[in-house]
Amino acid sequence: MFCKMSQGIQNGSSCQGTEKSNRKSSVSSKERGYDLTRNPFLNKGMAFTLEERLQLGIHGLLPPCFLSQEVQALRILANYEREKNDLDRYILLMGLQDRNEKLFYKVLMSDIERFLPIVYTPTVGLACQQYGLAFRRPRGLFITIHDRGHIPTLIKSWPGSVVKAVVVTDGERILGLGDLGCYGMGIPVGKLALYTACGGVKPQECLPIILDVGTDNEELLKDPLYIGLRHKRVRGQPYDDLLEEFMQAVTDRYGINTLIQFEDFANVNAFRLLNKYRNRYCTFNDDIQGTAGVAVAGLIAARRITKTKLSDHTILFQGAGEAALGIADLILLAMEKEGTPKQQAIKKIWMVDSKGLIVKGRASLTHEKERFAHEHPELKKLEDIVQDIKPSVLIGVAAIGGAFTEQVIKNMASFNKQPIIFALSNPTSKSECTAEQCYHLTEGRGIFASGSPFAPVTLPDGRTLYPGQGNNAYVFPGVALGVVSCGMKHIHDEIFLLSAEIIAQEVSDKHLQEGRLYPPLNSIRDVSLKMAVKIVEYAYKNNIASVYPEPKDKEAFIHSQVYSTDYEEFVVDAYAWPKEAMQIQTTNIK
């Protein structure tokens, strides 16, 4: 494995994606000396040349050896291989990000399929649970409920004057792990790392933020290592006032078109905040819309296997929260695009929540759930519901590990030639079933996708199937790159259907034969760039872009926006050097 990863770094091909130029850029810096070597945006470690070391006042602060970025990356990989568990590997990579950002992304992009499960799901969930232990130095902004009235001042504390993308959470629903409070900061940090690694968004233009309003997690409140506010969650009007001030402060500081991605908010807040702000700001909720994009991409790809339209299917959701409702809404949009009237499409979608099948007349249904309530007797158990409804598509998004029992899967296989089973909950412990269970219990006929990665499965007939990972990383980095590149004003739902279609188009017939519903993760950067180009085209066509003049060559425009992992050369000005530096340089030349 080390040799494979080393080859990727040395070749440079997988590190640079489809970027068209390897020219080194130059940078000048007011920072000098020790502080420069502690700045992750500028630090190059032992790759600083002698001229740079002399000019910047760091000669003597580094060992005399000079190491290229490629050699530095190999050293990181050697240390990575020595770590004994994924949490330690996560901590190693986050430490690298804190020291040398370009090297961090060089390593990450050398084998994104290998590193994605470490910096994102499932390991990031464990890292959030252990954030008190894993915490080394702060990344991003920590804004609390007690900072109301002063948020603009806190925003100004961030050193970057140009921020184009913000990922924010309040930590109440971290993956399928529940309320982790301030420990949820690992999610915005991880998401934005993928903005860059998978989409090419410049990391210095990204800002992770946690809104700490307290936590209802009693274990955290008693934990001496907990780093957040030690009181119950503040709700109601004070919470809404915090959000309102936050949105205004961010856009006042960085511009009205700043992308603000909401992440891991609980159902009670996720939909209403999205509906409240989506037409006022450039914002989206990844749990609702990003999950929808990747799930629908898998369904669109599956159509090529089943030779059917989306509207030919009966779809049952295990779960009726923000993910399920977001996917359902995007399915409706896709069915309408196929020519199915909306009301007829709604009848194809059924949902199960903690109280059982959602049907008309059932008490305490939210407005969002009410839309998918049908005339039907109430049923409680998923086995009974599957047997009665006879869905052709079963989607799990309730974070109930093992919810797709042996009986449920066998029932799906009994009345479907090719049952579509998506176990999308994260992390792996919350997955509704494993790939192996799905493939074996359906005798290899099941079309499977999951939220977390699963190993390939070899069937008794000798076939090896590679389960597709319905990872949101296929969606949000490409969406973010397209949105920030053209300064999009608002993000329409059509953007996520467009994203789903682009992802599905990148799935080859060979991939489908292997059981994959998504392109290989190592091609995710190419997918993101293609997605961004299409989004920019959509934005200008629908008059929701704010960057003018409109670029004639959209592909070249997107490539010009993409972050490069190559080290920049510091501008060398001999006249600005201290006399001692000039003397050392002269001596070395002689």
**What is the 8-class DSSP label of residue 129?**
H
Tokens of 406: 């042996």
Residue 91 dihedral angles phi and psi, to the nearest 5° = -65, -40
Contacts of residue 276, defined as CB under 8 A and 6 or more positions apart, other chains included, come to none
Place of tokens 């000798």: 462
Spatial distance between the Cα atoms of 129 and 175, rounded to a whole number of angstroms: 11
d(CA 168, CA 179): 15
Distance between CA atoms of residues 336 and 333, nearest Å: 5
Residue 321, token pair as written in the block: 């929260």
Please check whether residue 492 is in contact with residue 333, taking contact to mean a CB–CB distance below 8 angstroms: no
The token pair that represents 348 in the structure block? 């194809």
> How far from the centroid of its chain's Cα atoms is residue 366's Cα?
28
Look up tokens 């989306």; give the residue: 310
* Pairing assessment for the beta strands 457-458 and 464-465 based on DSSP bridges: antiparallel
End-to-end CA distance of the chain: 45
3-state DSSP assignment of residue 313: coil
- As given in the structure block, the two tokens for residue 452 are 């977390």
Residue 117: partners with Cβ closer than 8 Å, 6 or more residues away: 86, 123, 452, 453
Q: How much is the CA Rg of the chain, to the nearest whole Å?
A: 25
d(CA 435, CA 457): 7
Q: What are phi and psi of 416, to 5 degrees?
A: -135, 130
Nearest Cα neighbor of 290 from 120, 454, 97 is 120
C-alpha triplet 168, 268, 207: angle, nearest 5°? 0
Task: List, by residue number, the catalytic residues.
Answer: 120, 191
- 3-state secondary structure (DSSP) of residue 538: helix
Which amino acid belongs to residue 342? K
DSSP, res 290: I
3-state secondary structure of 165: strand
